[in-house]
Amino acid sequence: MKKVITYGTFDLIHRGHINILKRAKELGDYLIVAVSSDEFNELKGKKSYYTFEERKYILESIKYVDQVIKEDNWEQKISDVTKYNADVFVMGDDWKDKFDFLKEYCEVVYLTRTENISTTKIKNDLKNV
């Protein structure tokens, strides 16, 4: 079984998230999604609309997602890849080259983002309503 792992905040789920998850799942048989904890988001200076538990619940209901785990810090990626025996690490191409250090442990794939959609754009659009 080929396992794929990806990471993100996944707040305000939108078609861009679904596209990334669908394409990530197509790279293997089993998709693990690591979701930023509320505490980790705070350290990154991010504020989510939904709590970690709510975001986890939403992701678990998406047909492409097989398992959801918690991301507590930047450094856990190597241990997650080895712990979950991930064959492929996937991120959006706005992170290109940032996770190449994982190539020692698995294949690293950067997927293009869906144009004209992002959580930041949605939040900004809502401010202007």
Q: How do residues 99-120 score in pLDDT, each as one tens digit?
A: 999 999 999 999 998 877 777 7
Q: How do residues 28-47 score in pLDDT, each as one tens digit?
A: 999 999 999 999 999 999 88
Instruction: List CB contacts of 91: < 8 A, sequence separation 6 or more.
Output: 6, 7, 98, 99, 108, 109, 110, 111
Instruction: Give me the active site residues, please.
Output: 44, 46
pLDDT at 127 over 80: no
